[in-house]
Structure 1
Amino acid sequence: MSASSPRIAIVGAGPGGLVCARVLQQHGIPVSVHDLDASRTARDQGGTLDMHPESGQQALRAAGLWEQFLELARPEGQQMRLAGRDGRILFDATPPEAGTDEGSPEIDRGRLRDLLLDSLAPGTVRWSHRLTRAEPLGGGTHRLHFSGGDTADVDLVVGADGAWSRVRRLLSEAVPVYTGVTFVETGLDDADHRHPALAALAGEGTMMALDDNQGFVAQRNGGGHIRVYVGMRTDEDWHQRRGVDLADADAVRDALLKAFTGWSDDLLGFITETDTGYVNRPLYALPVPHTWEHTPGVTLLGDAAHVMSPFSGMGANLAMLDGADLARALAAGPTLDDAVTAYESVLLPRSAEAAEGAAEGIDGAFAPDGAEQALAHMTRHH
């Protein structure tokens, strides 16, 4: 396939799209990546990720980046704690010792993205390329139209453009729907020195406190930062119903404190001691299963194919495995279409299984007996 140099464009420079580009380049296959951001530093990349052996780690090995990853990873970040609404620790899984690659080592999303970006040939990523539409030209080719007026004619467009993918529209009418759970994100800076009690409660990895359709998730990031998600099963427009202006930090704080009446003051500190303000993040997922009829010249990976709740722990891991699998199929396939068909035959059932698990995970966590369900799950898996 490399001899015929198919024109391959990946839309979206997230972990899945970048892994795909990296593995393609390792096989000598040209590729371009188009991203709507103005640069790699245009926005915060989010929290931390645990790289699973059967997915994210496999993708990093396929990309030839495993050793570089280990230099950046935080194995201590695998610590998992569960607390009740009274702040009492119900479960505490000790992480592997620092310096080991056992289990599922953590890495900040921003550091992972930089690792992948730095591995690509210069000029691979075209920044400020917001896709407005993909125009079928026949025979599997498409003309990509970008907001700045640029166009690109390609033999394969790979939708790696996230939950609200524009590429997906070529294959499916499905759109993500609200899961019934909203996170309000906040954060603590220099937590060990400025918020020592909360830092001790959070531990070195992730602490969850769950009860009665509500909960806290405190996630240790690099640089002393703790990212906090205040979660609740509620209406998508909860803030409007309560007359809360999301731009008014005091109003959001007061609304959250009212919603969490009866919770331990130790846990409520994750709301009141914020250094970053509050960001409303309703959680969405595609219908399960999300499938499509094979269409020459286009395919999907990552959230574009299977956005699901974060309670699967699989989102970025699956996206990276998708990217590696697609690239390896393209390198091995006798034709572009044969390669994409082979990739999709693996992707679709795998995605459906993971999405089912994610739906069960969020429903179990944000349930009347969320702590009991989470404790049973952690006890089985640690």
Structure 2
Amino acid sequence: MTFTKPVLISGGGIASLLLASTLQRSNIPFIVFERDASPIFRAQGYRLRLSNEGLNAIEKALSPEKWQKFWDTCGKTGGVGLVNIDPITGKPLDSVSDNNPGDNKPATKPPPEMLASRDGKVVGISRGDMRKVFLEGIEDSVRWGHHVRSYELTPDGVRAVFADGSKSEEGCMLVGGEGIYSYVAKQLSGDKLKVYDLGSRGIHGQAPSTAFKGLGEGVFLLIDEKTVPSGKIFLITNVRSGDKDDPNVIFGWTMVGSPGVIQPPNNNYTLVGKPAADIAKSLTKNWHPRFKPLFDNMVESETAFWKITCSSPDGVPEWPNNPRVTVIGDAVHSMTPAGGIGANTAVRDSELLGRLLAEAGEFKEGITEAYEKEMRIYASEAVKTSFGQAHVMFGTSSELNTVIEPRDV
């Protein structure tokens, strides 16, 4: 490879770190700038379900050794579809309305999904574990505590500009992968890349796997339409049979409330731990004993609030191409948790851009243009699907009014 200047990567999330791993495999120099002080600075969120497309992208991007470690870290759950359960009664939901048995009205539930991606298994991994595997071997190229606020072009490259006004060394290009609060995306697109607040709120939680024994193996969606008269509560989790008896293994669950159901104290989404855990316990206090251990035994310190956000379902907009700067992952196409599409699309970005750089052998004009042209096609379709599924499942707003702006904390 003849890259004489490093690829600068803003953000240390899964898309950025996978891209970095891809560049390392191709001997392309890079530097990752992450605003967090360390990889354990904040809770790492819920478990990600990986599609076949996502797994294929990760396998192509990683070295065979690193891929094997990643695959071994993933959980594999039997079953190919969601089991929909009424958490009040503990019984599965079927095609007949629970409120009036025998009335032949369809129950309110999302359409069935085919979840298996490999070997008839649902493959999943937590964000924290994914980040940890991708970080291995590239730690020396990650600069913690560096928050990229903008960039400036030079005659022969680009520099990242940090929140304190200092600047990075010159790179051959800059990749913005810092999520929905991306300053790079805002600057690059001329504010065309926008992320919208869809009104729904959620809570991520974890508990020892023994707390999930009452569910059995499978992927479970709990739909509570009775606790909150003005809305619904959803909770999704998957249970791997091989780990149910090991208290040292932690499983996660993700709760979503339709607009107005879940509200962090003082609208403060930086709160983690007990405030979020207490709300989760309050909302589920009338749930069936089968599910109580998920909340009674939760690891409170890992509980966190989150907003459901999404890019416009109209698709990834176009902006004047900059040969030196582009964006990946949530920075360019934020998605809701419905269908688990967001992370799988993000890793496709990383693999595609990394492959184009490796094939070029050196920095060349046209790389970012080729990447963006292909990315817009699959990412636009993914955002549209994610937005539509969230509207059906969670009752999210279809009005795109509230824009999420970049922030420093």
1:280 to 299, 305, 315: 305
Query: CA shift at 1:90, angstroms?
Result: 4.0
In structure 1, give the amino acid aligned to 2:355.
Answer: R
1:349 has 2:377 as partner: yes
Query: CA shift at 1:9, angstroms?
Result: 0.4
Q: Deviations over 1:56-82 (max 9, x none)?
A: 333223322332223222212767432
Aligned partners of 2:136 and 2:59: how far apart in 1?
A: 14
In structure 2, give the amino acid aligned to 1:276.
Answer: E
2:349 to 304, 322, 336: 322
1:158-197 equivalence runs, <5 A: 158-172=175-189, 173=191, 174-188=193-207, 190-192=208-210, 195=211
Any idea what SS the aligned residue of 1:123 has?
Answer: helix
Identity of aligned residues (%): 22
Aligned partners of 1:308 and 1:21: how far apart in 2?
A: 22
Any idea what SS the aligned residue of 1:154 has?
Answer: coil
1:109 has 2:127 as partner: yes
What RMSD in Å do the two structures reach over aligned CA positions? 3.6
1:1-382 equivalence runs, <5 A: 2-64=1-63, 65-76=66-77, 80-85=82-87, 86-90=89-93, 102-120=120-138, 123-137=140-154, 141-147=157-163, 149-172=166-189, 173=191, 174-188=193-207, 190-192=208-210, 195=211, 198-201=212-215, 203-212=216-225, 213-220=232-239, 223-235=248-260, 238=263, 249=274, 253=278, 257=282, 264=288, 266-267=290-291, 270-271=294-295, 274-276=298-300, 279-288=304-313, 289-293=315-319, 294-333=321-360, 336-367=364-395
In structure 2, give the amino acid aligned to 1:73.
Answer: C
Contact 2:201/2:262 (<8 A) preserved: no
Query: CA shift at 1:286, angstroms?
Result: 1.6
Q: TM-score, normalised by structure 2?
A: 0.74
Aligned partners of 2:186 and 2:340: how far apart in 1?
A: 26
Any idea what SS the aligned residue of 1:330 has?
Answer: helix
Aligned partners of 2:130 and 2:254: how far apart in 1?
A: 21
Which one has a larger percent helix, Structure 1 or Structure 2? 1
Contact 1:142/1:297 (<8 A) preserved: yes
Query: CA shift at 1:361, angstroms?
Result: 1.5
Equivalent residues, number = 354
In structure 2, give the amino acid aligned to 1:142.
Answer: V
Contact 1:164/1:175 (<8 A) preserved: no
Query: CA shift at 1:162, angstroms?
Result: 0.8
Listed as ranges, the gaps of 5+ residues in structure 2 are 95-111, 226-231, 397-409
Q: TM-score, normalised by structure 1?
A: 0.79
Aligned partners of 1:204 and 1:71: how far apart in 2?
A: 19
Distance 1:54 1:248, change over 3 A: closer
In structure 1, give the amino acid aligned to 2:128.
Answer: G
Any idea what SS the aligned residue of 2:355 has?
Answer: helix
